[in-house]
Amino acid sequence: MQVIKSSAQLKKVLSNQRKKGKQIGFVPTMGCLHEGHLSLVRRAGRENDLVVVSIFVNPTQFGPREDFKRYPRDLTRDQSLLRHARVDYLFIPSRSSIYPKGFRNFIHPGPLVHYLCGPKRPGHFRGVVTVVNRFFQMVQPDTAYFGAKDYQQAKIIEEMVRRLHLPIRIKVCPIVREKDGLAMSSRNRYLSKKERISARALYQSLIEARKQIRLGERRAEKIKRAVREVLINHVDKIDYIEVLNPETCTPVKRIRSSALVAIACYLGSTRLIDNLLIRI
């Protein structure tokens, strides 16, 4: 695995590989890697000739009272995991190479920003699509891989790619879960032992939603109420519970053929999200 810190060097190396006809798969990350990230890396390896992974904790997607400074970082461990996963290139850019002095080319995140995490985290998705677009400019991958845990993020990136006419395939890969169902997340490290036990309720609430839908319930409000009843005694705060059209990522009042049930909750000061795609 070659570690690259210069965007100019990255462009040169990948340009030479493209001239040889190599297909490039790209996995952008903020580091503190877990099995969810590694599942994306392995899929990229199966489907491409070369795999590029980036590690960059993006400051523009964190709000003023969010966890940018304390976001977990473990570069030595990350590099070891990626070497074992047979990544070809690890790109670790500086902040100034992503956001040079005077940078103003922020990307609008599109209409889906009005739902779910968008209103709760103002500016977050603007930062996400901007940094992803910067990486797309530098890496110029054939395919980029994202996890379904951040379903709204993936849909917003898909919309950006269409809007900007970028020649990049976006693949959204299944959520990887712990044995008790908790979706893997770098922020799980923040949880105390008690909070970690309580966090099981997130997935349990989604399973309850699936149960209600399979029993014939189609009203979104009834499903949201069932989810809330599972969560209410286990989490410190429910940020949102939504039932969505999985194609448009917009809320529905009644389920037709499939639904995405999405939740965000706080355990202590840690905000966790999860979702479940349910087909009828």
Q: CA-to-CA distance for 126 and 117, rounded, in angstroms?
A: 12
Q: Does the pLDDT value for residue 3 go beyond 90?
A: yes
Q: Does the pLDDT value for residue 119 go beyond 90?
A: yes
Mean pLDDT of the chain: 97
User: Which one, of 148, 135, 137, 151, lies nearest residue 90 by Cα?
Assistant: 135
3-class DSSP state for residue 46? helix
For residues 171 and 146, the answer to whether their CB atoms sit within 8 Å is yes
Residue 162 and residue 84 share a domain: yes
> What is the Cα Rg of the chain in Å?
19
Residue 191 and residue 169 share a domain: no
Decide if 145 is inside a domain: yes
Q: Which domain holds residue 88?
A: 2-173
Sign of CA dihedral 193, 35, 169, 133: positive
Per-residue pLDDT, averaged over 105-120, amounts to 94
Residue 132 and residue 18 share a domain: yes
pLDDT value of residue 81: 98
Q: 228-280 pLDDT, tens per residue?
A: 999 999 999 999 999 999 999 999 999 999 999 999 999 999 999 999 999 98
Last residue of a domain, one of 124, 140, 173: 173
Last residue of a domain, one of 109, 143, 173: 173
Q: 15-42 pLDDT, tens per residue?
A: 999 999 999 999 999 999 999 999 999 9
pLDDT value of residue 42: 98
> What DSSP designation does 156 have?
H
3-class DSSP state for residue 224? helix
The residues assigned a catalytic role are 37
Decide if 56 is inside a domain: yes
Residue 143 and residue 210 share a domain: no
Residue 169 and residue 227 share a domain: no
Last residue of a domain, one of 112, 141, 173: 173
Per-residue pLDDT, averaged over 198-208, amounts to 99
Q: 152-200 pLDDT, tens per residue?
A: 999 999 999 999 999 999 999 999 999 999 999 999 999 999 999 999 9
pLDDT value of residue 21: 98
The model's pTM: 0.96
Domain count, the chain: 2
DSSP code string of 61-129: GS-TTSSTTTS---HHHHHHHHHHTT-SEEE---HHHHS-TT---PPP--GGGGSTHHHHSTTHHHHHH
Q: What percentage of the chain exceeds 70 in pLDDT?
A: 100
At which residue do the structure tokens 């979104």 appear?
220
pLDDT value of residue 235: 98
Label residue 65 by pLDDT band (50, 70, 90): confident
Residue 210 and residue 154 share a domain: no
pLDDT value of residue 179: 97
